[in-house]
Amino acid sequence: MQRRAPEAPRGGQQQPYAFKKQKFNFKAFAKLVGSIKPHFWELAIGLILGLAATGMQLMVPQFAKQLINQLGHHMNTGLMGLVIAFFVLSALISAVSGSVLGFFGEDVVRKLRKFLWAKILRLPVSYFDETRSGEISSRLINDTSQVKDLLANSMPTMVTSILQLVGALVLMLLMDWKMTLIMFIAVPLVLVVMMPVIRQSHKISIARQDALADFNGQSSEILSDIRLVKSSTAEDLEHEDGNGKIEKLYKIGIKEAIYDSIASPLMQMVMMGMMVGLLIYGASRVASGTMTFGTLISFLMYLTQMIGPFTQMSQFFTDMAKTSGSTARIQEMLQMPEEDQTSGESVALDGKTLAVDHVDFEYEKGQPILQDVSFEAKPNTVVAFAGPSGGGKSTIFGLLERYYNPDKGEIKIGDTTVTGVNLTNWRSQIGLVSQDAAIMAGTIRYNLTYGLDGEYTDDQLWNVLEMAYAKDFVSDMPDGLDTQVGERGVKVSGGQRQRLAIARAFLRDPKILMLDEATASLDSESEMMVQKALEKLMHNRTTLVIAHRLSTIVDADQIYFIEKGQVSGHGTHKELINKLPLYREYVENQMMLQQAPQTA
């Protein structure tokens, strides 16, 4: 978590608040939807049934007209029964249509999420360096819902709304064209009055959603780093920061309340005015005998039927604007190049020399991190990397894990360039115990076998725990192997976490082992245990170790001294002491550091 000015939007890539009038990119949307192959037949059925239900609703005022016009003569029970059956049937069809469209929507969102989730997991590490995780999960959760809403709710409603409007228009024209004309002059007038209010309230609703997403993202980010907040005594800062966001939501909410409360009475007033006008005109027509009472009533019924479609159509345009943004964000993610995890040959790494050959690398353009780095690790030897902090040691490991690709030069195993080796195959043979031994929320058992296919007996797990000097503390835990370690392993200590990571490495039995030694000073007992565990783990495999402990450095077969992204010298400890003054200085410093606690 980085500190930044409270006003600056976190992440900085997109400015979510501003309501931008986005043009709906139909091509991009169609391509996205087409690529997930949803059950279009469900959409078709839902739409057809929806249209049928709408058509039936259009008939209702016609029946009403007939019923009303017959009043006073005799009760037509047959027609009455028919109308009731019609009502029930139309409700049933409407319900089925709604369900089928709902199924369709869920199918869309499911496929879209699966598609995106698979994509996200295959994006390279560099993508995650650049993009906030909150933003990524928002694409997976919110943007996919948005696409579903447009496709399964707004679009079908739009189609039925059009039928409703056109159908009503035609039927009304057939009944009485003069009355219809008056109504269709009045309706656009109503729209002219209503439009600014509707538009403004849509703007506000979009702004509210963006502000909510922003507040949500920020608060969860802070909650996940609550220890840092507390240790930095940043509560007040975050308090203010959060208050700012809450205030913003409040202001948007106030505006929304005003517009909403203007909108509905205004709408009611205008509708009432229209109705009264129509009634007066209609009543005079009825009085003069040029129109039946039933026709007048059915006109009023059509008028009320038309309000829904009008508001739904404006909702549709808002949804299109929102979905356009969502589609663009999803598309952008889908266009990111993935790691190629499937192609390439499988190569057994044991017994082969690992060589890094004149490698250059930069995380960001124009900021070279590694320059002309070369080294070699013969099978079953220990190669240590030492050097000042920020020199690029962990970066080298990142390249070896193939999180990133070198910009220049190559990495070879035996005679093969690693870019030709299947990525999954490569990573499954490499064990990395990193600087901040990563542990997931879950049980110890879950963490040990994480990512492994096979079934492991308890005995096997206890065995690796024993080799990693972790058996004692795990058996002391209340639930043994099934103890929960908490989010990111907060319930186990740093040294325990490392030993669990080592136990996991034992279980994976990698051909090449990479250890990024933690600088965090463990107490001498757990340091000794970690050290012993590591020595055992190094046995019989090629080991690359970023070494801070002097003992590891001294015992290594080859030491590479990495400084400012370059190899400034290599050799055994003795050789380097003699030929590289910087190394000698480094070792002396390390010695002083490591002796200090004992002499103090």
Contacting residues toward Mg ion, per CB under 5 A: 394
Q: Which residue, 461 or 562, has its beta carbon nearer to ligand ATP?
A: 562
Nearest distance in Å: CB 495, Mg ion: 18
Whether 65 contacts 294, CB under 8 Å:
yes
Q: Is 368 in the site for ligand ATP (CB under 6 A)?
A: no
DSSP one-letter code for 521? P
Distance, in Å, from the CA atom of 157 to the CA atom of 150, rounded to the nearest integer, reads 10
Interacting residue with ligand ATP among 32, 49, 296, 369 (CB under 6 A): 369
Q: Which residue, 129 or 557, has its beta carbon nearer to ligand ATP?
A: 129
Q: Is 373 in the site for ligand ATP (CB under 6 A)?
A: no
3 state DSSP class of 146: helix
3 state DSSP class of 376: strand
Residue in 18, 313, 305 with CA at minimum distance from that of residue 167: 305
Nearest distance in Å: CB 597, ligand ATP: 20
Size of residue set near ligand ATP by CB under 6 A: 12
Interacting residue with ligand ATP among 295, 395, 429, 496 (CB under 6 A): 395
Distance, in Å, from the CA atom of 241 to the CA atom of 214, rounded to the nearest integer, reads 12
Q: Which residue, 297 or 386, has its beta carbon nearer to Mg ion?
A: 386
For residue 344, the one-letter residue type is G
DSSP one-letter code for 492? S
Nearest distance in Å: CB 453, ligand ATP: 30
Q: Return phi, psi of residue 456, to 5°.
A: -120, 135
Structure tokens at 408: 């220049």
Nearest distance in Å: CB 552, Mg ion: 14
Distance, in Å, from the CA atom of 85 to the CA atom of 444, rounded to the nearest integer, reads 63
Whether 266 contacts 197, CB under 8 Å:
yes
Distance, in Å, from the CA atom of 291 to the CA atom of 289, rounded to the nearest integer, reads 6
Q: Is 559 in the site for ligand ATP (CB under 6 A)?
A: no
CA 315 to chain centre: 26
Distance, in Å, from the CA atom of 431 to the CA atom of 504, rounded to the nearest integer, reads 9
Q: Which residue, 411 or 432, has its beta carbon nearer to Mg ion?
A: 432
Distance, in Å, from the CA atom of 262 to the CA atom of 202, rounded to the nearest integer, reads 13
Q: Which residue, 167 or 387, has its beta carbon nearer to ligand ATP?
A: 387
Nearest distance in Å: CB 197, ligand ATP: 49
Q: Is 391 in the site for ligand ATP (CB under 6 A)?
A: yes
Residue whose pair of structure tokens reads 């129109």 in the numeric block = 291
265 binds, among ligand ATP, Mg ion, none (CB under 5 to 8 A by kind): none
Q: Is 363 in the site for ligand ATP (CB under 6 A)?
A: yes
Which residue's Cβ lies closest to Mg ion?
Answer: 394
Q: Which residue, 72 or 366, has its beta carbon nearer to ligand ATP?
A: 366
Near ligand ATP by CB under 6 A, which window of 172-180, 198-206, 392-400, 535-543? 392-400
Nearest distance in Å: CB 126, ligand ATP: 8
Whether 358 contacts 374, CB under 8 Å:
yes
Q: Is 14 in the site for ligand ATP (CB under 6 A)?
A: no
Q: In sequence order, which ranges of 336-421 are alpha helices (DSSP H)?
A: 393-400
Q: Give the footprint of ligand ATP on residues 426-465 (CB under 6 A).
A: 435
Structure tokens at 409: 């030069």
Nearest distance in Å: CB 377, Mg ion: 18
3 state DSSP class of 252: helix
Sign of the torsion formed by the C-alpha atoms of 135, 137, 140 and 144: negative
402 binds, among ligand ATP, Mg ion, none (CB under 5 to 8 A by kind): none
Distance, in Å, from the CA atom of 20 to the CA atom of 476, rounded to the nearest integer, reads 59
Q: Is 593 in the site for ligand ATP (CB under 6 A)?
A: no
Near ligand ATP by CB under 6 A, which window of 220-228, 387-395, 497-505, 530-538? 387-395
Q: Is 392 in the site for ligand ATP (CB under 6 A)?
A: yes
Nearest distance in Å: CB 434, Mg ion: 9
Q: Is 393 in the site for ligand ATP (CB under 6 A)?
A: yes
395 binds, among Mg ion, ligand ATP, none (CB under 5 to 8 A by kind): ligand ATP
Nearest distance in Å: CB 549, ligand ATP: 13
Q: Give the footprint of ligand ATP on residues 300-359 (CB under 6 A).
A: none
Q: Is 389 in the site for ligand ATP (CB under 6 A)?
A: yes
Cα–Cα distances in angstroms (integers) from residue 22 to residues 62, 212, 252, 320, 327, in the given order: 41, 20, 21, 9, 11
Q: How many other C-beta atoms can be found within 10 angstroms of the C-beta atom of residue 178? A: 12
Nearest distance in Å: CB 494, ligand ATP: 15
Sign of the torsion formed by the C-alpha atoms of 446, 449, 453 and 457: negative
Q: Which residue, 33 or 534, has its beta carbon nearer to Mg ion?
A: 534
The contact set with ligand ATP (CB under 6 A) reads: 129, 363-364, 369, 389-395, 435
